Amino acid sequence: MKKQKVNFDEIQKAMEDVSRDTFDYFLDMVTGEVIAFSEEILNEVKSRLYDSDSDEIGDEIEYIEFDEEPDLPVWMEDEVELALEILLDEEGRYVRIPERGPTMAYKSMAEFIETVENRLLREELSNALNGKGAFRRFKDVLIDYPKERKRWHGFNAKAMKRKIIEWLRSIGVEPIS
C-alpha cells in the first residue's frame, strides 16, 4: 500500500458534494492533491473528445488536435489541458472521488441522535429523519441549537474521516495527514 499525504478536509468537501452538478473531483495519486473541475469544462472536453472520429484517437495519445480551436479564456486553458490529462489517464494517476451515499449520511445522523442528551432535541432530530427532505430538516433543527450543531459537525467529520480512510485503502493508499 502506498503512503500518501492527503487533505481530509478537501476530500470530505468533495464527497459531500453529492449532486455533482457544478463540479467533479479527482485525487492525484502522485501528489495527493484534490483537483476540482467545473462540469462545464469537463463537458466541453468530453464533447470535443467523443465527438471526434474514433479513428483519430489512437491508443497512445500524445497530442490532440481539434478541428476548431476552442474559444477559451486564457485562464481556462490550463484547466482544459489538465482535464484532458485526467480524462485520458490510463496509468491510474487520477481517481475520481466518489460521492458520499445517502445511506452513510443517514446512518451518521441516526448515530449522532443517539448521543444527544436533550430529550426534546433528540425527538425533533428523529422526526426530521422521516421522509423526503430528511437531510435539510435535520440541519434546520440544529440551527436552533448552536452547541449541538457544532458537535454534529465534529461528529460528522470523524465519521467522514473513517469513510475516507476506508475509500483510500480500497484504492491502495495509506493516508498520511
Q: How far apart are CA 127 and CA 73, in angstroms?
A: 49
| Intervals of the chain under pLDDT 50 | 54-61, 64
Residue 85, CB-side half-sphere exposure with 13 Å CA sphere: 13
For 93, the 3-state DSSP assignment is coil
Provide the pLDDT for residue 71.
62
Provide the pLDDT for residue 59.
47
Dihedral sign, CA of 30, 34, 40, 43? Answer: positive
Dihedral sign, CA of 136, 137, 140, 145? Answer: negative
Provide the pLDDT for residue 56.
47
**Residue type, position 20, single letter:** R
Q: How far apart are CA 135 and CA 118, in angstroms?
A: 20
The helix (run of H) or strand (run of E) holding residue 168 is helix 146-170
* 166 class by beta-carbon count within 10 Å (0-12 exposed, 13-18 middle, 19+ buried): exposed
Provide the pLDDT for residue 79.
80
Residue ranges of domains in the chain: 19-96, 102-176
Provide the pLDDT for residue 55.
47
Q: Cβ of 124: how many Cβ atoms within 10 Å?
A: 19
Tens digits of residue pLDDT in 62-75: 554 555 555 666 76
Q: How far apart are CA 78 and CA 82, in angstroms?
A: 6
Provide the pLDDT for residue 139.
95
**Residue type, position 150, single letter:** K
